[in-house]
Structure 1
Amino acid sequence: MIEPIVDEVRKYRAEHARRFNFDLRAICADIQKIEATCGHTVVSLPPRMLDVAIDPLEPSDQRLRHPIRAWPP
């Protein structure tokens, strides 16, 4: 079952995209125009750099330390 709010957001997104003939540049330009005129502060955070000293394959969570079992048991 799809939540009513999610369904409404998807419906609005589809209508908005259809208004601009699914042109992503036009859609983004319209969203930026709305953001500039809405009166709310829109924050853009700088990208975060990854720490290359950390091994991404090293399990950092206890649940990842358990061996993976083959299925079926």
Structure 2
Amino acid sequence: MWTDPIVDELHRIREEHAARINFDLDAIVADLRRVEAEWPGPKIAPPPRQLETRPQTEPDHASTPH
């Protein structure tokens, strides 16, 4: 089976990072947020997402049995 070497490397890095923090999810998130805050590059926020609104339809009472 073919494997992607980039994906394999990302999995290895993620595993090593988690192991350094004893696989504590809260600590992993805190560490990633710290790294993000200290990152010297520009921060780019994604544009706000528009929620899709569905038109409200009246229930079809004619098709329900009485």
TM-score (norm: length of structure 2) = 0.65
Higher-Rg structure is 2
- In structure 1, C-alpha distance between the alignment counterparts of 2:27 and 2:47, rounded to whole Å: 24
Structure 2 distance, partners of 1:19, 1:33, is 15
- Provide the secondary structure at the position in 2 that maps to 1:25: helix
Q: CA RMSD in A?
A: 2.3
Higher relative contact order (CA 8 A, sep 6+): 2
Counterpart in 2 of 1:6? 7
Runs (4+) of structure 1 exceeding 4 A deviation are none
State the shift of 1:44 in Å: 3.7
- The alignment-based identity, stated in percent, is 44
Which ranges in structure 2 are unaligned for 5 or more consecutive residues?
Answer: 56-66
TM-score when normalising by structure 1: 0.60
